[in-house]
Amino acid sequence: MRSPGLLAAALCWTCIASADPLQHEFLLLPSAEAVGTFDRQAPVTQVTDEVLKLDSIFSLQKGSFKVFGEYLVSDHEGDLERFQLGWQVSSDTVIWIGRYHQPTSIWNHEHHHGQYLQTSITRPAIDEWEDLGGILPQHFTGVLVESSKQVFGDWRLHVAAAGGIAPEITSEGLEPFDLVHPSHDRQRLGYQARASLHPGEFTETGFGMIVANDKLPQVGPQTPEMVGLDYVDLRLVGVFGTYAAQSWKVLATAYYANAQLFYTGSEISDHFEVGYVQAEWRLRQELGVFARLEGSAHASDSTYLDLFDEFHRSRQLGGLRWDFARRQALTLELGRTHTLQGAFSDVRLQWSAAVL
Amino acid sequence: MERGGPVAVRRLVCIALLLLGFCGAAVPASRVLVLVVRADSPVVDLDSVTLRKLFLGVPVLVNGKLLHPIRNRSAEHLDEIFLQEIVGMSQSVYDRQILGGVNRQGWRPPTEANSSAQVLAALYEDQQAVAFVWQSEIAHDPRVRVVRILWSE
C-alpha cells in the first residue's frame, strides 16, 4: 500500500504546485420515491416503501488534476460512493486512483447514483448496488483508466480498464471496501475492462463488450449457504448496445457469468446468464414512456446466486416520465418481478431533480 | 430632358447603393460573432468538433494545459446561436449532456458570463480561457485575439 500512497502524495503536490486556478463544481441530485407492492408471493421483495435521497457530486480541479467524489445520503444510509484523484493525461485519457464504480456495469457507469439522470426509477437487477441485494460487485478501490480514440474515420472507440480491491461476501450480501472506515480483513482484487465503438463523437449509439474477473473473499458470520466458503472467483463476459434516435432509444445488455466457489476442501463451479432490454420513447419534449424486460438463464441452478435471496431472475416493467419543470421530473413505474423464491408486483412514484 | 431623367435616376440609385454599402459595412461589424482568446493564449486554432467538445464540458488540452470555456449569455440571441452553431443541439439535450458529464467524470461546464464586460474580464485574467463575443465589442483591443469567425448575419 506504500506505492499508491506515494503516488497519491505526488499527484497532490503536483496539483498544488501548478499555477492553474482552482476550479470547483457541485451537482445535487435529490429524489423522493414511494413504493407499493401487491400480489406478493415472495418472502423477500427488496422494496423499501419510501426513500428520500440526496446524491451530491463534487469536483475540485487544478490544471490537469482533480479530486472527484459522490456522497449519497438517504433516510436509510450515508455513503461515500466514489472518491477519486484524477489526472487528465490528454484530452482523451484520464487516470483515476480511489474508489470508483466498476466500468463493466454499463448502467451504473452511465447513471451512477443520481435518479434524475436515468429514465426509469429502478435499475436492472444485474446492476443493483451491493447494499440493495446486488449480485455483482460495483464499488472497487484501486485504479481506473478511461480513454477514447478516433478510429475508422469518424467512429470513436471508448475504452475503460480498472483493477482494485473487490467487495467481500458477508451474511448481508456484498460489502465494498470502505474508504472512511477501512476494514483489516483479507483483501482480494478484481479487474474489469470495457470497449465500445460509436459512430460519432457525441452520439449515444454504439455497441461494445465487457470482461471482468473478480475474486470475492467471504468474511464474517456465515449464512447456511456460506458454510465453509472461502472465496468466489467470478468471471464475466458481456455485450451491450444502444441505438438512440431523435425521439426514441433502445439499449440492451447480456452477460455470461462463471462463478467458482472455493470451499474448505472442495470447489463448485456454476454459470448463469442475465440480460435486459430497455426501450424509451419521447412522446413530447417533456413526456416520455419506457419499458424494460429483464431475464436470466440457469439462475435457479446457481450456487452463487443462492447466496443472494433477493435476486430478481426476471422482471417486466413499464412507466411514464414527465419533465414538468427545469431539471425536475415525475416518474411512474409499474413492474412484475420474479425472484428466486417467488414473485411480486410493484408500483412506484418518484420525484427527482438536478441542481447545478 | 428625356436623357437627363435616366441619368438623375442612375445617380440616385448610385447614391442609394453607396449609402446601403456604408450601412451594410456597419451592420456586419456588429453582427459577426468571433471566437476569442487572450492575446498570449496558446490556442492557434480550434476546429468545430474540438470547439463543440470544449463547450460541452469535455476536457480539451492545448500544450498539456486545460482550456476554460466561457459561455457568453449577454443576450438571448446569443443562446440561440450557441445552441445552433457551436454545440449543435437543443437546450434540453445540451442540459443532459452537461449534467451527464459532471455526474460521470466531474467535467466542468462552461463558466457563464451575463455581460460582455464579464466575458472580457475573464479573458484578460485567464490565458487558457476561450470565449465568443461580437466582433464590434473587441475592435482594436490588443489584449484579445480572434481565433476565427463563428457566425455572421
Q: Per-residue pLDDT averaged across A278-286, rounded?
A: 95
Q: Dihedral sign for Cα B138, B139, B144, B147, please.
A: positive
In order of A185, A225, B123, B147, the CA distances from A262 in angstroms are 18, 13, 62, 63
Residues A343 and A313: their CA atoms lie apart, in Å, by: 10
Q: What is the pLDDT of residues A233-272, one digit of tens each?
A: 999 999 999 999 989 999 999 999 999 999 988 999 999 9
Q: What is the pLDDT of residues A343-353, one digit of tens each?
A: 999 999 999 99
Q: Which residues pair with A159 in a beta bridge?
A: A147, A195
- How sure is the predictor about A12, in pLDDT bands with cuts at 50, 70 and 90? low
Contact criterion met (CB < 8 Å) for B64 and A57: no
Query: Per the domain annotation, does A238 fall within a domain?
Result: yes
User: Which 8-state DSSP code applies to residue A226?
Assistant: G
Q: Which residues pair with A210 in a beta bridge?
A: A194, A238
Q: What is the DSSP string of A243-273?
A: EE-SSEEEEEEEEEEEEEEEETTEEEEEEEE
Chain B (76-95) residues lying within 8 Å, Cβ to Cβ, of chain A: 89, 92, 95
Instruction: Count how many residues are written for chain B.
Output: 153
The per-residue pLDDT for B16 is 54
Distance from CA of B29 to the nearest CA of A (A): 33
Distance from CA of B88 to the nearest CA of A (A): 10
Number of structural domains (chain A) is: 1
Of chain B, the percentage scoring pLDDT greater than 70 comes to 80
Residues A194 and A274: their CA atoms lie apart, in Å, by: 17
Distance from CA of A9 to the nearest CA of B (A): 21
Query: Per the domain annotation, does A97 fall within a domain?
Result: no
Chain B (56-75) residues lying within 8 Å, Cβ to Cβ, of chain A: 56, 58-61, 64-66, 68
Residues A195 and A145: their CA atoms lie apart, in Å, by: 12
What one-letter code names the amino acid at B121? A
- How sure is the predictor about A20, in pLDDT bands with cuts at 50, 70 and 90? confident
C-beta of residue A312 within 8 angstroms of C-beta of residue A299: no
What domain range includes position A346? 27-58+115-137+147-353
Q: Per-residue pLDDT averaged across A78-94, rounded?
A: 94
Between strands B61-62 and B32-38, the pairing is unpaired
Nearest CA in chain B to A95: B105
Distance from CA of A267 to the nearest CA of B (A): 39
Contacts of A212 (CB under 8 A, 6+ apart): A102, A104, A190, A191, A192, A193, A234, A235, A236
Between strands B61-62 and B65-66, the pairing is antiparallel
Nearest CA in chain B to A29: B103
Is B48 in the A-facing interface, judged by CB distances under 8 Å? no
Contact criterion met (CB < 8 Å) for A64 and B96: no
Distance from CA of A337 to the nearest CA of B (A): 29
The per-residue pLDDT for A341 is 86
- How sure is the predictor about A15, in pLDDT bands with cuts at 50, 70 and 90? low
Distance from CA of B132 to the nearest CA of A (A): 21
DSSP 3-state of A232: strand
Max intra-chain CA distance, chain B: 80
Lowest model confidence (mean pLDDT) among A70-74, A124-128, B7-11, B94-98: B7-11
Query: Per the domain annotation, does A64 fall within a domain?
Result: no
- How sure is the predictor about B6, in pLDDT bands with cuts at 50, 70 and 90? low
Grid cell listed for A16:
498544488
Q: How far is CA B52 from the centre of its chain?
A: 13
C-beta of residue B32 within 8 angstroms of C-beta of residue B135: yes
The per-residue pLDDT for A184 is 79
Residues A129 and B105: their CA atoms lie apart, in Å, by: 19
Q: Which residues of A touch B (CB under 8 A)?
A: 20-21, 23, 25, 27, 29, 57-59, 61, 63-64, 66, 68, 86, 88, 90-91, 94, 109-112, 114, 116-117, 146, 201-202, 285, 323, 327, 354, 356
Of chain B, the percentage scoring pLDDT greater than 90 comes to 71
Nearest CA in chain A to B108: A25
Q: What is the pLDDT of residues A180-195, one digit of tens each?
A: 888 877 889 999 999 9
Is B52 in the A-facing interface, judged by CB distances under 8 Å? yes
Residues A2 and A34: their CA atoms lie apart, in Å, by: 46
Q: Per-residue pLDDT averaged across A157-161, rounded?
A: 97
pTM of the model: 0.86
Query: Per the domain annotation, does A302 fall within a domain?
Result: yes
Residue A61 is nearest to which of B92, B97, B108, comparing CB atoms?
B108
CB crowding A96-106: b at 16 or more within 10 Å, else e: bbbbbbbbbbb
Residue A201 is nearest to which of B49, B89, B92, comparing CB atoms?
B49
SS in 3 state form for B113-144? ECCHHHHHHHHHHCCCEEEEEEHHHCCCCCCE
Between strands A312-325 and A22-38, the pairing is unpaired
Alpha helices in chain A (DSSP H): 2-17, 106-111
The helix/strand count (H/E) of chain B reads as: 5, 7
C-beta of residue B72 within 8 angstroms of C-beta of residue B78: yes
CB crowding A198-217: b at 16 or more within 10 Å, else e: beebbeebbebebebbbbbb
Residues A12 and A63: their CA atoms lie apart, in Å, by: 12
Instruction: Count interface pairs A-B at CB distance under 8 A.
Output: 76
Query: Per the domain annotation, does A82 fall within a domain?
Result: no
